[in-house]
Homo-oligomer: A and B are copies of this chain.
Amino acid sequence: MYYIGIDLGGTNVAAGVTDKEGRLLGKASIPCPRGAEAIADAMAESVRLAVHEAELTLDQCGSVGVASPGTIDPEKGIVFHAFNLGLDHVPLAQMVSDRLGGIPTLLENDANAAALGEYVSGAGKGKNSLVAITLGTGLGSGAVLEGKLYTGFNYAAFESGHMVIRRGGRPCTCGRKGCWEAYASATGLIKSTREAMEAHHDSALWQLASTLEEVNGKTPFDAAQAGDTVAREVLAEYIEDLACGLANLINILQPEVLCVGGGICKQGENLMAPLRDALNREEFTKDAAHRCQVVVAELGNDAGIIGGAMLPLYR
């Protein structure tokens, strides 16, 4: 028996086929069109391509699991809102299933599916529990606790990005002030970098980005590497904010592994070494024999596909 996963993204629809250990046997990616019907068509097409790539037939696959952005109802297989994709109350699971001969099709939030993927065959392989966060436009997160994908009683759990760490701080898209996401996402880092540039016109940051629009998540790391003090201060604060939320999650959940993904993680030890230093000061269990391991995510863009595929086994 094989398992199909689909990662529905704003740019591409990617599908893959795995075995029951979550090993990816074949995958395919096609551009994501607009409109619910066209998206469902593209999803079905990506599945056919991936199954072919894996040298299998659809009959050999038991299920499809879809990792979708936005607000979803996993029980009913409905995407309530995924504004980037223009989806509004779309019964996506059923639409995909109908296009693939009625194959059982499950739907899950993309951050949850990515966490499951990392748990099954990435950073959390063989562990008791994993919390995954992704530093991107927002701060996505999901968790597998004691071998099961954790979604809360209403499927809305793990909006960890909307944990306030600086009460009264930066306004967040969710309406709160001082959310972790507002500081620790790539967007948060870019905002802090821009603020620092506006305050320091002599900073070397201006040599790497001649306008504020050109700043990206790499800019402050490059400037800090080149010795710029302002960039170093931006990063020191960024690390403190990131560590603050991670230590909060560890103090609450004590997962065996906490994995951090997203483009910023390409910085490797430039990010992880100071982050570990901060956690060594901040964690309640800093002196304990058994501590949560904080590591970089391993699967990159495949996490959602693999997690989607593994949904029927870990719900």
Could you tell me which A residues sit within 8 Å of B by CB distance? 127-129, 145-146, 148, 150-160, 162-167, 174-176, 240-241, 244, 247-249, 251-256, 281-282, 284-286, 288-292
Contacts and interface: CB of A to CB of B under 8 A. Distances in A.
A252 B156 contact: no
9 contacts: A145-B145, A146-B148, A153-B255, A153-B256, A154-B290, A162-B284, A164-B244, A174-B284, A176-B282
A253 B152 contact: yes
Given A164-B247, A167-B166, A244-B167, A153 B254 contact: yes
Contacts of A174: 284
A214 B247 CA distance: 35
Contacts of A152: 129, 253-255
Given A129-B152, A156-B254, A165-B165, 18 more contacts: A145-B150, A146-B148, A151-B254, A153-B256, A153-B290, A154-B289, A156-B288, A157-B253, A159-B284, A160-B251, A160-B252, A163-B163, A164-B247, A164-B248, A167-B240, A167-B241, A175-B281, A175-B286
Given A284-B174, A290-B154, A162 B256 contact: no
A192 to B, nearest CB: 14
- Considering residues A148, A154, A167, A174, which has the most beta carbons from chain B within 10 angstroms of its beta carbon? A167
A63 B290 CA distance: 28
B249 A252 contact: yes
A104 to B, nearest CB: 23
Contacts of A281: 175
Given A162-B284, A282-B176, A284-B174, A254 B154 contact: yes
A159 B253 CA distance: 8
Contacts of A153: 127-129, 254-256, 290, 292
Contact of A157 (B244, B254, B291): B254
Nearest to A143: B252
A115 B160 CA distance: 22
A241 B164 CA distance: 10
Nearest to A291: B154
A88 B83 CA distance: 56
A165 B158 CA distance: 17
A165 B176 CA distance: 12
Contacts of A288: 154, 156
A81 to B, nearest CB: 11
